[in-house]
Amino acid sequence: MSTLEILFFALSAFALVSAIMVLVSKNPIHSVLWLILVFFAISGHYVLLNAQFLAIVNIIVYAGAIMVLFLFVIMLMNVKEDKEPQKKLWVKLVGVVAGGSFLLLLVALVKQTTQIEGKQVLLKDGVIGLIHPLGQVLFNDFVVPFEISSVLFLSAMVGAVIIGKK
Amino acid sequence: MTILALDWGFIIEKLIMIAIIVLASLGIALYTTFGERKVAAILQDRPGPSRAGPFGLLQPLADGLKLIMKEEIIPNAANKWLFILGPGLAMTASLMTCAVIPWGSAVDVFGRHVELQIADVNIGILYVFAVVSMGVYGIMIGGWASNNKFSLMSALRAASQAISYELAMGLALIALLMTTGSLSLKTIVEQQIQGNWWNIVYQPLGFVIFFICALAECNRTPFDLPEAENELNFGYHQEYSSMKLGFYLFAEYINMIMSSAIMASMYFGGYDLPFFNEASVAPNIAALIGVGTLLIKIVLFIFLFMWIRWTIPRFRYDQLMNLGWKTMIPLALFNMLLTGAILLAKL
């Protein structure tokens, strides 16, 4: 096994264990904290793919901003683990069936995709995730959608300020 | 063994550098607490700590020893693991920033060419932002796990303040990045050394916005609302005692050092000594002069932080939010627009 493979499997195991802990934890705050660890593991995978920009943006946006809002809401709701009502057995069963079918669907979709057939992931030396090639792609090939979404974000921010000024 | 096909010299070099930088930051932070007390004393016309050692120089060691030796109390109703995790996380996050700061140009040691920077990643600035946003968790987790209403209120204040000011900070930064064209701190510093002027000349408004936001990010006065004693008793670290409290207090000083280093690197030429030709002396000596220059710039910034703390009273919470959202963000947007227009006109 190369160092890269060891890192890959370690990160995958870390991501899976954290993801399971998100579901298993009784305390919602613990769930959110485990979810943050999942994002870190995924960012680690991005780094292995040499997509540094994606990795860091994943941390800034998801682990840094969105999860803080999650924590905010849950802390203010003051959810206690012992007050949480237990779900009925049949509700749990329905959940298992629904989740299982969704997993089946995803696996079937991935198996059917012909685009990724016979292609290998560029580990360690791909350059598409670095900031320069990414900028080239965004500003040459996808400039219109990119600009539209930027304007959308900017207007959301300006809108927040305007609403605050009223 | 193919597993261990690594460049061990490289790893050892980096480990030594991490150890030196972390220990140096801790040492500087230790004496920053002393500096804070002395500056406060001078500004308030009193002698300040003067009993432990000559000029009171051993005072920070005595303070540290006191914090370690104190009884450690974990409240019964606290969430034990998160209560311990909080200060550790705050400390780790503030120390992690030092990884991308270029402390000097390269030196040659034992035939190895050693860059005085732990990692020159091409997303340096964004890495700093990611780590800063992690620092919020240390405060939030600690405040929540204490199971105290005041701590929770203060943690929420700290988090919302940090998020609000991060936005204006990022916008001020975008204007700077438009002129430099690179996210790597090393490249930004090198550009300032090669070019004639420091970035402060091109981005005066951006720097002012960045500096104010840095004050808010470090929870320094006039933005130290999370520690407003008269409303919140003590702040998010109210239930903490012993070295855990010490970690929270220490993390604030390390944050100050790191943000000073980043501001010096981005706007004030980093390790560049003005009116001095680095090529005229041996590379190792030039690197040492560079490190010294950066340290002096950091100390000046820290003094500015302290000067502000002991001069300006703190804001009210709504004033803080008003300043962040209604003044800083529009100003930063204006600065961005102006920079863009000038860049376009120069094309």
Total number of domains in chain A: 2
pLDDT at B4: 58
Claim to verify: residue A68 and residue A116 sit in the same structural domain: yes
Nearest-CA distance from B228 to chain A in Å? 20
Rounded mean pLDDT of A154-165?
A: 84
d(CA B283, CA A100) in angstroms, rounded, equals 63
In a domain, B2, yes or no: no
Are the beta carbons of A68 and B140 separated by less than 8 Å?
yes
Could you tell me which residues come within 8 angstroms of residue B95 by beta carbon, excluding any fewer than 6 positions away? Answer: B22, B25, B254
Domain of A164 in residue numbering reads as 130-166
Are the beta carbons of A2 and B156 separated by less than 8 Å?
no
Q: Which of B122, B152, B330 sits opposite A130 (nearest CB)?
A: B122
**Dihedral angle over CA of A15, A16, A20, A25, nearest 10:** -30
Claim to verify: residue A82 and residue A150 sit in the same structural domain: no
Q: Mean of the per-residue pLDDT values for chain A?
A: 84
Are the beta carbons of B130 and A56 separated by less than 8 Å?
yes
Check pLDDT > 90 for residue A13. Answer: yes
pLDDT at B1: 41
d(CA A36, CA A71) in angstroms, rounded, equals 10
pLDDT at A40: 92
Print pLDDT tens along chain B (347 aa): 445 566 777 788 888 888 988 898 888 888 898 888 888 898 888 888 888 888 888 888 888 888 888 888 888 887 888 888 889 998 998 888 888 888 888 787 777 777 788 888 888 888 888 888 888 888 888 888 888 888 888 888 888 888 888 888 988 998 998 888 888 888 888 888 887 788 888 888 999 999 999 988 888 878 887 777 777 777 788 888 888 888 888 888 899 999 999 999 989 888 888 877 777 777 788 888 888 889 999 999 999 999 988 888 888 888 888 888 888 888 998 999 999 999 889 87
Q: Are strands B112-114 and B107-109 parallel, antiparallel or unpaired?
A: antiparallel
Sign, CA dihedral A119-A125-A130-A133, equals: negative
Claim to verify: residue A85 and residue A159 sit in the same structural domain: no
Query: Between A23 and A119, whose confidence is greater?
Result: A23
Claim to verify: residue A48 and residue A68 sit in the same structural domain: yes
Contacts of A158 in chain B (CB under 8 A): 333
Claim to verify: residue A112 and residue A140 sit in the same structural domain: no
Bridge partner residues of B109 (DSSP): B112
Nearest-CA distance from B156 to chain A in Å? 7
Are the beta carbons of B159 and A53 separated by less than 8 Å?
no
d(CA B125, CA B100) in angstroms, rounded, equals 8
Nearest-CA distance from A141 to chain B in Å? 20
Contacts of A131 in chain B (CB under 8 A): 122-123, 183
Rounded mean pLDDT of A53-67?
A: 87
| Interface test mutation site (partner B, options A56, A73, A77, A79, max chain B beta carbons within 10 A) | A56
In a domain, B249, yes or no: yes
Claim to verify: residue A45 and residue A82 sit in the same structural domain: yes
Claim to verify: residue A85 and residue A148 sit in the same structural domain: no
Q: Which of A18, A46, A44, A45 is nearest to A33 (CA)?
A: A18
Are the beta carbons of B329 and A161 separated by less than 8 Å?
yes
User: What are the structure tokens assigned to B144, written together?
Assistant: 């929540």
* Planar angle of CA B6, A58, B178, nearest 5 degrees: 95
Band of pLDDT at residue A41, cut at 50, 70 and 90: very high
In a domain, B1, yes or no: no
Claim to verify: residue A120 and residue A155 sit in the same structural domain: no
| Residue where the block lists tokens 């670290």 | B237
Bridge partner residues of B112 (DSSP): B109
Total number of domains in chain B: 1
User: Do residues B155 and B212 touch, judged by C-beta distance below 8 A?
Assistant: no
pLDDT at A14: 93
Domain of B160 in residue numbering reads as 8-346
Q: Which of B266, B244, B278, B327 is nearest to B107 (CA)?
A: B278
Give the three-state DSSP class for B310: coil
DSSP-derived secondary structure letter, B93: H
| Interface test mutation site (partner A, options B81, B320, B325, B328, max chain A beta carbons within 10 A) | B325
Contacts of B141 in chain A (CB under 8 A): 33
pLDDT at A82: 60
Sign, CA dihedral B1-B3-B5-B7, equals: negative
Claim to verify: residue A158 and residue A111 sit in the same structural domain: no
Rounded mean pLDDT of A17-29?
A: 88
Claim to verify: residue A124 and residue A139 sit in the same structural domain: no
d(CA B328, CA B168) in angstroms, rounded, equals 6
pLDDT at B210: 92
Nearest-CA distance from A60 to chain B in Å? 5
pLDDT at B301: 92
Contacts of A157 in chain B (CB under 8 A): 167, 329
A89 burial class (0-12, 13-18, 19+ CB within 10 angstroms)? exposed
Claim to verify: residue A50 and residue A118 sit in the same structural domain: yes
pLDDT at B277: 75
Q: Which of B5, B82, B127 sits opposite A56 (nearest CB)?
A: B127
Q: What is the pLDDT of residues A99-128, one digit of tens each?
A: 999 999 999 888 887 777 677 666 666 677
User: Do residues B130 and B221 touch, judged by C-beta distance below 8 A?
Assistant: no
d(CA A126, CA A120) in angstroms, rounded, equals 11
Claim to verify: residue A147 and residue A98 sit in the same structural domain: no
